[in-house]
Structure 1
Amino acid sequence: MGWINVAVAASFEILWVIGLKHASAGWEWAGTLVAIVLSFLFLIRAGEYLPVGTSYVAFVGIGTIGTTILDMIFFGQPFEWIKLVFIFMLIAGIAGLHTASGRAKANEGGSG
C-alpha cells in the first residue's frame, strides 16, 4: 500500500510541477494547487507504511522522471541521451529502494 501511495503522490507531483511552469488561467492554477495538496496527502500516507526517507526519495525520483519525460514529449524540451541514462539510473535506484524496504520489512516480521 505504501508504494501505491508513493506512485499516486508522484503522479500528482508531476502534474503540479508542470502546472507551475505552464498554468496561465485561473482554473489551471486551481488545478495546480489541488495537485500540490493531493501530492503531499498521498506522500504522508506513504510514510505510514514505508520509511520516510525511502518514500521521499522515491517520490522525488518518480516525479523527476515523469516531469522530464513529459517535458520532452509535450513541451518541446530537447531529447538528450545523457538525460535518458540518468533517468534509468534513477529507476534502478528506486527499484533498489523498493527491494531493500521489502527485505527490511520481512526481517522485522521474522524477528518478532
Structure 2
Amino acid sequence: MMWRHWLTVVLGAVFEVSWVVGFKHATTLWAWLITGVAVYLSFYFLIRASRSIPAGTAYAVFVGLGTLGTTSVGMFVFGEPISWLKIALILLLLAGIGGLQWTTTKEAN
C-alpha cells in the first residue's frame, strides 16, 4: 500500500504550507504556537514517509508540493500576481512530482 506513504508526504506538505504562511503572517502568541506545531508535524510526516519511500524522492516531492501549495495560497488567498509563466512552471513542477512518484518502485516495509 504505497499510496499510504505518499499520503503521508502530502500531509507533511500541507503542514509545510501552513508554517510558511504562519511565518509570514503570525502576529499573536497563539498564531506562533500553531506555526510551531505545523513545523513539527510537517517534518514528522516527512520522516515517517521516508522510512518506506527513498528519502531523496520523499523530500523532493515534499518540497515540490510545499512550493506548489505556498505559491497557490499566495496567488489565490493573498492576491499575489498570477501570470501564464507562473502557471506553466507550476504545471512543470506537478509533472516532476508525478514523475518522481511514478518512478519510485521501492516497496513499503
- Give yes or no for TM over 0.5: yes
Distance 1:29 1:8 in 2: 20
- Of residues 70, 76, 80, the one that matches 2:79 is 76
Query: By how many angstroms is 1:76 displaced?
Result: 1.5
Distance 1:105 1:56 in 2: 15
Structure 1, unpaired ranges of 5+: 107-112
2:13 maps to 10
* Structure in which a larger fraction of residues adopt helix: 1
TM-score by length of 1: 0.90
2:34 maps to 31
The C-alpha deviation readout for 1:34-58, integer Å capped at 9, x for no partner, is 0000000000001011000000000
Distance 1:76 1:95 in 2: 27
Higher relative contact order (CA 8 A, sep 6+): 2
Residue identity matched to 1:105: K
SS in 2 for 1:105: coil
The C-alpha deviation readout for 1:52-103, integer Å capped at 9, x for no partner, is 00000000000000100111111111111111111111100011011100xx
**Largest Rg, 1 or 2:** 1
Q: Root-mean-square deviation (CA), in Å? A: 0.9
Q: How many residues align?
A: 104
Q: Write out aligned runs for 1:33-48 (5 A).
A: 33-48=36-51
TM-score by length of 2: 0.92
Structure 2, unpaired ranges of 5+: none
